[in-house]
């Protein structure tokens, strides 16, 4: 059986300003990067992952990066999981 896990990107720079970034490309904050590492470390202990799919936006790729490192995987980017164009 296949199990899917969905995760929103960690805190981005525009999240701090309560701005909906839509498809504009903003990076994670320092806190967002640390949170992504912490979540990946917790997931590693309890859930096997064999495939990562990420939006092509930098904030999503930065969130996926710790998972790639810890699970020794390369994330595939896919436009079908990009945020809505508002």
Is residue 54 included in any domain, yes or no? yes
Is residue 3 included in any domain, yes or no? no
Reference 85, options 28, 6, 24, 25; nearest CA is 24
Is residue 13 included in any domain, yes or no? no
Structural domain boundaries, residue 60: 27-81
Is residue 86 included in any domain, yes or no? no
Is residue 77 included in any domain, yes or no? yes
What's the domain count of the chain?
1
Note down pLDDT in tens along the chain; length 86 residues.
Answer: 888 999 999 999 999 888 888 888 999 999 999 999 999 999 999 989 999 999 999 999 999 999 999 999 999 999 999 988 87
pTM of whole model > 0.85? yes
Q: What is the predicted pLDDT for the residue at 60?
A: 97
Is residue 4 included in any domain, yes or no? no
Is residue 7 included in any domain, yes or no? no
Is residue 42 included in any domain, yes or no? yes
Q: What is the predicted pLDDT for the residue at 78?
A: 97
């Amino acid at each position: 059986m296949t199990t899917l896990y969905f995760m929103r990107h960690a805190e981005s720079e525009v999240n701090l300003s309560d701005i909906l970034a839509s498809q504009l490309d903003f990076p994670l904050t320092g806190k967002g990067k640390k949170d992504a590492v912490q979540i990946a470390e917790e997931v590693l202990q309890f859930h096997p992952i064999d495939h990562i799919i990420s939006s092509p936006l930098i904030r999503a790729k930065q969130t996926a990066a710790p998972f790639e490192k810890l699970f020794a995987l390369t994330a595939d980017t896919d436009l079908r999981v990009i945020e809505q164009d508002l």
